[in-house]
Amino acid sequence: MRRKASLILLAFAVFFTAMSPLMRWYAFPRLAKIPPSQYQEAVLEAKNPTLIDYGSMKAKKIDKVTIVQTLKGNVEASEKIEKTDGDSSRDVVVWDALSYVQDGDGKMVSKVPERYIFDAHSQEPVHATGEMVDGDAVKRQGIEFKWPFLTEKRDYEYFDAQARVTKPIHYKGTQTFRGVKVFYFEQTIPWTKVPFPKTMPVKGITPESLAKTGTTRWYTTVRKFWVEPTTGAPVYGEEIQRNELRGGTLLGDRDKVTVFEGHVKMREDYIKSTVDLVKSQRVLVLLLTSYLPWGFLGLGLLLLGLSLWLEARSRRPGDPEATAAPEPEPVNA
């Protein structure tokens, strides 16, 4: 009886021990992914920034500028790309993003739409029809908005939507932010000539009319992200950004005019909600990468030890089950 129980325990021990690496290296890369219908919103503010007045073409200090960033998963577009991509097993996510900027009075300063297409598991960009920034077709290289699951302590390539370029974003160290262990990344985009937004805040002023004056727009920024490494999700972000108009007849005798200059930070209420969301998602990722694999391995070793113990007891000479039965005494007539 003990030998039979030992064999059953041995079979379970082999099963759970084999499940440990399978859960980590087979199930996790396939199960961990960004849902195609995800919706996310973040509000950032720049206090006391400098902003251009297009009426007078002069820069002035204002109370604040608010930037509302939304990411909305486009399920229909995702399914269409998966079908036309030639590999229906590939999970593709399409994010329709919008960056809406308004001044302290609630007046629109600019709005820039984006379509970001990427692999749901690795976050690598997927090049497909519709990939764009502000209506201009782009071919992204590197990540944007989110880091891969299990982010590493290294530099990544990060796409800048304003400049339409990819530059390294550097790992600067490990920190603790609001009780969460995070990796701090920083990227600097040097002064770069960039296109005017398609939607301008003043009627009659268009990118085409500005281009005719010979005036150009230039941009630089220092981008900072605090990223939770298990999920690859930023819990906080900042930008120290400057925009200028340079040259042309529009500026008269001036060489340049500041369009925007400010330190953009995530608003406090959105910091809290983002941290809470990332904490809950972190548990799900750890379940596949740590809790279940190590739990299965520990259970497998425990069952193996129990199996060997029962096998040893079944072979012990002094054990009643292991003692030979006495020979029957002869019967005399």
What's the first-to-final CA gap in the chain, in angstroms? 39
Confidence of residue 72 (pLDDT cuts 50, 70, 90): very high
The yes-or-no verdict on residue 247 having pLDDT over 60 is yes
Percent of the chain, pLDDT > 70? 92
204-213, 222-231, 267-276, 310-319, range with greatest mean pLDDT: 222-231
Cβ(47)–Cβ(64) under 8 Å?
yes
The more confidently predicted of residues 156 and 199 is 156
If pLDDT is split at 50, 70 and 90, which confidence band does 322 have? Answer: very low
- Alpha carbon distance 231, 281 (integer Å): 7
Q: Indicate if the pLDDT at residue 330 is higher than 70.
A: no
| pLDDT exceeds cutoff 50 at 331 | yes
pTM of the predicted model over 0.75? yes
Which is more confident, 285 or 319?
Answer: 285
pLDDT at position 22, please?
86
What percent of the chain stands above pLDDT 90? 56
Segments making up each domain of the chain, as ranges: 1-31+280-318, 32-266
pLDDT of residue 83: 85
Q: Rounded to an integer, what is the distance from CA 185 to the centroid of its chain?
A: 13
